[in-house]
Amino acid sequence: MAREFSSVGVIGLGTMGAGIAEVLARSGLDVIAVEVDDAGLARGRGHLEHSTERAVARGKLDADGRAALLGRIRGTTSLADLAGVDLVIEAIPESLDLKAEVFAELDRITGPDTILASNTSSLSVTEIGVHTSRPGKVVGLHFFNPAPVLKLIEVVRTVVTEPDVVGDVVALAEKLGKTPVVIGDRAGFIANALLFGYLNHAVTMYEQRYATREDLDAAMRFGCGYPMGPLSLLDLIGLDTAYEILDTMYHQSRNRLHAPAPLLKQMITAGLLGRKSGRGFYTYR
C-alpha cells in the first residue's frame, strides 16, 4: 500500500516552488515552505495570492477554498522546521553546489524515512542524492510551469532509488490530480529534451531575422495548436532558466540542437529574462 503523506516541505518559493506548494495545499496537505529570508517569503506569498486569485476568477476555486488553501501553507526561513515532514520537495535555483548543501542539511534534519525530492529540470538527481546518507530515498519530481495548471510530473528514479519510494511518489502525484511518468536520470528527462531543441531553433530563426517574433509564435499556435508560441513560452520559462537547461543538455550530449543560441546569452546579460524581469522577447507590465 502506498504511503500516506500528511505534511510536505517545499524549499524555494519562486515560480516553481510556489506553484508546487499551491498544488499540494489544494489537495489538503499541510505545507511548510522555506525561503532564505522574509523578502523571499513575501515574494512567494505574492505568487500564491496571484495564482489562486486567477483560479478563483476562472471558477477553479471558491473564496473559502482559497482561504483554506493559503492557510495550509506555513512560511519559514528555517530548514530546521522541516524536521517532522514525510517528504521534502526542493525547488531552489539550478546550482549543484547549492542543492548539495541543502540535501546534506536535510539529511541531518529529517527522519530517516523522509523522502527527499528535487524539482531540478536539468541537474543529475544521482549527483544530488549522493550528498545524503539515503540516496535510495532521493527522487526527482519535475513539475511544469505553471504547476497548478499543467498535469505532467516527471518522476526521476536513479539507479539506487528504492522501488517503494517511486511507488509512493507516483501515488502522491495521482492524488494531486497529475499524470506521472517514471524515467531514468538523464539531462532534460523527456519533455525538456524534446522541447528545448525546438525553442532554441525558434531563437535562431528570430536571431537570423528569418521571421518576426509574432509570426514565429503565430505559426506554432495556429499551425500546430500549441497553447503558446516558442518565444512567448521562453519568456514564461525565463531566459536564464532556459539557457541553463540548454547548456547542461549540450554539455551532456554534445547534440548541436542544444547549443544555446548566442542571442539568449546576450539577452540575459542585458537583463532581459522574460516575464519575471518585465521584458524578454516581449515587454510586460
The least distance separating ligand CAA from the CB of residue 83, rounded to whole angstroms, comes to 29
What spatial distance separates the first Cα and last Cα of the chain, rounded to whole Å? Answer: 49
Q: DSSP of 157-209, one letter per residue? A: --TTS-HHHHHHHHHHHHHTT-EEEEE---TTTTHHHHHHHHHHHHHHHHHTT
Show Cβ contacts of residue 11 under 8 Å, excluding neighbours closer than 6 positions: 17, 33, 34, 79, 82, 88, 89, 90, 91, 92, 102
Least Å distance, CB 192 to ligand CAA, is: 5
Whether 47 is catalytic is: no
131 is catalytic: no
In the complex, what is the shortest distance from the CB of residue 68 to ligand CAA, in angstroms, rounded to a whole number?
A: 14
Please tell me the number of Cα atoms within 13 Å of 17 on its side-chain side: 30
Of the pair 134, 213, the CB lying nearest ligand CAA is at: 213
From 47, 131, 142, 258, active-site residue: 142
Whichever of 227 and 278 has its CB closer to ligand CAA, that residue is: 227
Instruction: Please confirm, yes or no, whether 121 is among the known catalytic residues.
Output: yes
Reply yes or no on whether 101 is catalytic: no
Backbone angles phi, psi at 179, to 5 degrees: -110, 105
Rule CB under 6 A: which residues touch ligand CAA?
Answer: 51-52, 54-55, 58, 60, 121, 144-146, 148-150, 192, 227-228, 233, 237, 241
Q: Which is nearer to ligand CAA, 13 or 82 (CB)?
A: 13
**Catalytic site residue from 51, 124, 192, 277:** 192
- Toward ligand CAA, which CB reaches closer, 111 or 225? 225
Element (H, E) at 39: helix 38-57
Catalytic residue set? 121, 142, 154, 192
